[in-house]
A = this chain, B = another copy of it.
Amino acid sequence: MWIDFEPVGRRVEGREGQNLLEIARDAGVGIASLCGGQGVCGACRVQVLEGDITPQTTLEQEAFSEAELADGYRLACLARPLGDVKVHIPPRSLTTEQRLQIEGQQLAVKVDPTVRGVAVQVPEPALTDLRSDVTRLADVLRQGEDVVRVDSLLLRQLSDRLRQEEWAGTVGLRGREVVSFYPVGRGPLGLAVDLGTTKVAGYLLDLVSGETLGADAIMNPQIPYGEDVMARLTFALQEAEGRGTLQRVIVEGLDRLTQALCTGAGRRPEEIADAVVVGNTAMHHLFLGLPVGQLGRAPYVPAVSDALDVKARDLGLTLSPGAYVHLLPNIAGFVGADHVAMLLATGLWQEDKVVAGLDVGTNTEVALKAGDRLLTCSTASGPAFEGAHIRFGMRAATGAIERVHLRDSRVEYQTIGGTPPVGLCGSGILDAVAQLRLAGVLDRRGKMKDHPRTRRGEKGPEFVLVEAAESGVQQDITISRADVGEIQLAKGAMRAGVRLLLREAGLNEADLDAVVVAGAFGTYIDVESAVTIGMFPPLPPDRFQQVGNAAGLGARMVLLSRAQRAKAVEIARHAEYVELTNDPNFANEFAHAMYLESKM
């Protein structure tokens, strides 16, 4: 009895009588579960695509809508295969580790990269053939009148390399420029980077096969100089050498990340012939060492918004001598290249339906595709979802509570890595607020009512999620009125952004055919919780698509495909930026959007 798990791409054998959750766990496929397989937490939702399986249980009929049941949705802990089956695990049902793993998958773009590997066999010099080394290489690569040139620093190696390799090898060809050289059997690698304010994700790709050879992430090494965008801009502007310091540390971080990726794949950074970096406009500017004064002051204009190709060496990055770094275009001061990459990866920009896209982070960029228009704005959602400004908040690391379910007075939870809880990451905080609201512990204004688990803390009322004895930090893990307030600010900004873009397009929330939620945090959150507290519009769950790190995906697509690179330029050109603070309705919408309720 064989079970195919998608999108993990694992085919595993199941024993008779085992449920899908057990089969998955035995095979190391991580499906989320809070209640330990009792069919009550609803975390292990999966979709059975093909094959026979035990009939739906009553618990499942309660857990899903009719449409979902018709689509084959089941709780993995209650469904037992009766033969070979094919199962889709939605992102939200995957454990964190599993989600990170599947991000490294093969991409569905035609491999046509900016830097191509071209095998060459070059005739040796002789008394009867005194052409220069470059000319004899160029003549091999010649296309009619169109002659190649060799990057000026690669020139310093090329003559010796050609002789070492006995005049055969592969060149990395970027248009008509040779940017790298490889022995026979090797070819150009590419690096895609999603340069987040908090997390920097890197992907190493084979530019010939298109395969992702590795994925890894580091914390942004600029964090010590300012946790959020504005703090970093302030550091860059007010400290002597501030801008240079931020540029240097991110480049050093990227060099480390690149080295780690290459070591993991048994390759060297010098083999990387092309790189694509996406980030918000501030990260983009700080990475390039661009001035940010104009970005930190009204009217907040970028130094540059067009797509750029910069020699890696001009940034201090150690790649192939001739490698370029491609930077996708920015849309505005606070809608950056990472949002362009997300719009590209999700296909949102060419949707015929009315679709909103949210890239949830410290700044949440919102896009709305409606008719021919592609509207964008940025909302200051703040760092609460990254765990900052929350008493027991933490990043999504081992021991973080990522799922919370409140049953009567009992708190069920799931931690990353399954270890004793040490704090709450964004999705856990969001669940907690939603569960407290559903249980009536919080009112719509966020006020905390009495409950067996509430108490008076130092700064007002707080709810005990985990008691000290059970926690990994020898103290109660709580969520306070103040924490709830932070979440209200964050989600209010986001919701107001969606509503104002809809208003700009002459539409309202009910007109939305779909809402695409991107970003690492956006992948892990429970959509129902987000709807419950009014962060997202009150739409049926199937209208939400959680697409994971779409910016990183977009970066990889642009790395592999010249056509995608051109599309990114088209997206940025087509997008209309809406400056929310100019909108007379903004303050009012924002105030209402802070209520912990779905309808507005």
User: A residues touching B (Cβ–Cβ < 8 Å)?
Assistant: 125-127, 129-135, 138, 147, 149-150, 152-153, 155-160, 163, 288-291, 293-294, 298-306, 308, 310-311, 313-314, 330, 332-333, 577, 579, 582
Which residue of B129, B132, B288, B299 is within 8 Å of A330 (Cβ)? B132
A130 and B294: CB pair below 8 A? Answer: no
Alpha-carbon gap, A276 to B133, bound state (A)? 23
Q: Cβ of A300: which chain B residues have Cβ within 8 Å of it?
A: 130
A294 and B156: CB pair below 8 A? Answer: no
A133 and B314: CB pair below 8 A? Answer: no
In the assembled complex, how far is the CB of residue A35 from the closest CB belonging to chain B, in whole angstroms? 50
B130 and A293: CB pair below 8 A? Answer: no
A-B CB contact pairs (8 Å), 25 listed: A125-B294, A126-B299, A127-B298, A127-B579, A129-B299, A130-B299, A130-B300, A130-B301, A130-B333, A131-B301, A132-B301, A132-B303, A132-B305, A133-B301, A134-B305, A135-B306, A138-B306, A149-B306, A152-B308, A156-B291, A158-B291, A159-B293, A159-B294, A159-B303, A313-B314
Q: Cβ of A579: which chain B residues have Cβ within 8 Å of it?
A: 127, 130
Across the interface, name the chain B residue whose C-beta is closest to A125. Answer: B301
In the assembled complex, how far is the CB of residue A368 from the closest CB belonging to chain B, in whole angstroms? 18
Q: Cβ of A126: which chain B residues have Cβ within 8 Å of it?
A: 299
Q: Cβ of A298: which chain B residues have Cβ within 8 Å of it?
A: 127
B305 and A159: CB pair below 8 A? Answer: no
B135 and A290: CB pair below 8 A? Answer: no
Q: Cβ of A163: which chain B residues have Cβ within 8 Å of it?
A: 293-294
Alpha-carbon gap, A199 to B157, bound state (A)? 28
Q: Cβ of A132: which chain B residues have Cβ within 8 Å of it?
A: 301-306, 330
In the assembled complex, how far is the CB of residue A94 from the closest CB belonging to chain B, in whole angstroms? 39
Across the interface, name the chain B residue whose C-beta is closest to A303. Answer: B159
Alpha-carbon gap, A506 to B153, bound state (A)? 43
Alpha-carbon gap, A301 to B300, bound state (A)? 55
Q: Cβ of A301: which chain B residues have Cβ within 8 Å of it?
A: 125, 130-133
Across the interface, name the chain B residue whose C-beta is closest to A301. Answer: B125
A160 and B293: CB pair below 8 A? Answer: yes
A303 and B130: CB pair below 8 A? Answer: no
Q: Cβ of A582: which chain B residues have Cβ within 8 Å of it?
A: 127
B130 and A290: CB pair below 8 A? Answer: no
Alpha-carbon gap, A153 to B244, bound state (A)? 13
Known: A150-B304, A160-B291. 20 other contacts (CB 8 A): A125-B294, A125-B299, A126-B299, A132-B302, A132-B330, A133-B301, A133-B302, A133-B304, A134-B303, A134-B305, A135-B304, A135-B306, A147-B306, A149-B308, A152-B310, A153-B314, A156-B290, A159-B293, A163-B293, A163-B294
Across the interface, name the chain B residue whose C-beta is closest to A147. Answer: B306
Alpha-carbon gap, A303 to B125, bound state (A)? 11
In the assembled complex, how far is the CB of residue A141 from the closest CB belonging to chain B, in whole angstroms? 13
Alpha-carbon gap, A288 to B430, bound state (A)? 59
Alpha-carbon gap, A135 to B294, bound state (A)? 14
In the assembled complex, how far is the CB of residue A570 from the closest CB belonging to chain B, in whole angstroms? 14
In the assembled complex, how far is the CB of residue A345 from the closest CB belonging to chain B, in whole angstroms? 23
Q: Cβ of A133: which chain B residues have Cβ within 8 Å of it?
A: 294, 301-304
Alpha-carbon gap, A345 to B404, bound state (A)? 82
Alpha-carbon gap, A303 to B291, bound state (A)? 39
In the assembled complex, how far is the CB of residue A101 from the closest CB belonging to chain B, in whole angstroms? 36
A155 touching B294 in the complex, CB below 8 Å, given contacts A132-B301, A579-B130: no
Across the interface, name the chain B residue whose C-beta is closest to A315. Answer: B152
Q: Cβ of A289: which chain B residues have Cβ within 8 Å of it?
A: 156
Alpha-carbon gap, A319 to B371, bound state (A)? 50
B311 and A152: CB pair below 8 A? Answer: yes
Across the interface, name the chain B residue whose C-beta is closest to A313. Answer: B314
Alpha-carbon gap, A134 to B577, bound state (A)? 17
Q: Cβ of A135: which chain B residues have Cβ within 8 Å of it?
A: 304-306
Q: Cβ of A311: which chain B residues have Cβ within 8 Å of it?
A: 152
Across the interface, name the chain B residue whose C-beta is closest to A149. Answer: B306
Alpha-carbon gap, A397 to B160, bound state (A)? 40
In the assembled complex, how far is the CB of residue A290 from the closest CB belonging to chain B, in whole angstroms? 6
In the assembled complex, how far is the CB of residue A590 from the closest CB belonging to chain B, in whole angstroms? 19
In the assembled complex, how far is the CB of residue A515 from the closest CB belonging to chain B, in whole angstroms? 26
A291 touching B159 in the complex, CB below 8 Å, given contacts A125-B301, A152-B311, A314-B153: yes
Q: Cβ of A306: which chain B residues have Cβ within 8 Å of it?
A: 132, 134-135, 138, 147, 149
Q: Cβ of A160: which chain B residues have Cβ within 8 Å of it?
A: 291, 293
B127 and A159: CB pair below 8 A? Answer: no
In the assembled complex, how far is the CB of residue A322 from the closest CB belonging to chain B, in whole angstroms? 11
Give the interface centre of A135, A290, A303, A308 by most chain B CB atoms within 10 Å. A303
Alpha-carbon gap, A18 to B298, bound state (A)? 76
Across the interface, name the chain B residue whose C-beta is closest to A304. Answer: B134
B305 and A127: CB pair below 8 A? Answer: no
Alpha-carbon gap, A532 to B599, bound state (A)? 107
Alpha-carbon gap, A127 to B308, bound state (A)? 25
In the assembled complex, how far is the CB of residue A365 from the closest CB belonging to chain B, in whole angstroms? 15
Q: Cβ of A159: which chain B residues have Cβ within 8 Å of it?
A: 290-291, 293-294, 303
In the assembled complex, how far is the CB of residue A308 from the closest CB belonging to chain B, in whole angstroms? 7
Alpha-carbon gap, A165 to B72, bound state (A)? 66
A577 and B308: CB pair below 8 A? Answer: no
